[in-house]
């Protein structure tokens, strides 16, 4: 099955590329696809003084120097209120996301190490960023033995 791009226009344009001709805005904007993948392109950014300016929904975060760094601030110049961003760590880097130091607020009010595979998902509310999805660890006792189960809150 071919990949479907979410929000792609349902009207397909045919013919020559003639700048003198145009497509009606009502036809072009009619019925964009709600199915498919969002198609998040990866943007690679390097921290600067524990901050970065994201320019895409999915950002790979690199340490400023060495392989370990703190990440405590998102510069909002390229974002809008209610935007959702996803962050992953660059391969081999240990990026500690700092809760409440600047404008990032994480679930459980605690710092977290950015994963290379499981994105940290944040939503902007006002000028701050809040973690909106994350695993919760709960203890479960089954027949007298104790286990830890990871529960995802979507």
Render pLDDT for 25-58 as a digit per residue (tens, 0 to 9): 666 666 666 555 566 778 899 999 999 999 888 9
75: pLDDT strictly greater than 80: yes
Query: How high is the mean pLDDT of the chain?
Result: 80
Q: What percent of the chain has pLDDT over 70?
A: 62
The long-range contacts involving 144-151, CB below 8 angstroms and separated by at least 24 positions, are none
What is the spatial distance between Cα 113 and Cα 13, in angstroms, rounded to a whole number? 46
What is the spatial distance between Cα 129 and Cα 149, in angstroms, rounded to a whole number? 27
Beta-bridge partners for 125: 128
pTM over 0.95: no
Domain boundaries defined on the chain: 40-153
Render pLDDT for 111-143 as a digit per residue (tens, 0 to 9): 999 999 989 999 999 999 999 975 555 555 566
Q: Are 105 and 126 in contact (CB under 8 A)?
A: no
CA count, 13 A, side-chain hemisphere, 10: 9
What is the spatial distance between Cα 78 and Cα 107, in angstroms, rounded to a whole number? 24
pLDDT reported for residue 63: 96
Q: Which residue has the tokens 């509310």?
A: 125
């Amino acid at each position: 099955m071919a990949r479907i791009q979410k929000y792609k226009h349902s009207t397909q344009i045919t013919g020559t590329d003639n700048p003198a001709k145009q497509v009606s805005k009502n036809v072009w904007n009619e019925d964009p696809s709600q199915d498919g993948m969002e198609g998040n392109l990866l943007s690679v950014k390097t921290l600067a003084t524990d901050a970065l300016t994201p320019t895409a929904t999915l950002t790979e975060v690199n340490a400023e120097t060495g392989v370990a760094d703190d990440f405590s601030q998102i510069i909002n110049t390229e974002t809008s209120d209610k935007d959702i961003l996803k962050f992953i760590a660059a391969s081999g880097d240990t990026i500690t996301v700092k809760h409440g130091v600047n404008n990032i607020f994480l679930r459980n009010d605690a710092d977290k190490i950015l994963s290379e595979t499981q994105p940290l998902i944040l939503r902007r509310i006002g000028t701050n960023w809040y973690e909106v999805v994350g695993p919760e660890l709960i203890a479960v006792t089954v027949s007298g033995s104790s286990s830890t189960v990871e529960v995802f809150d979507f």
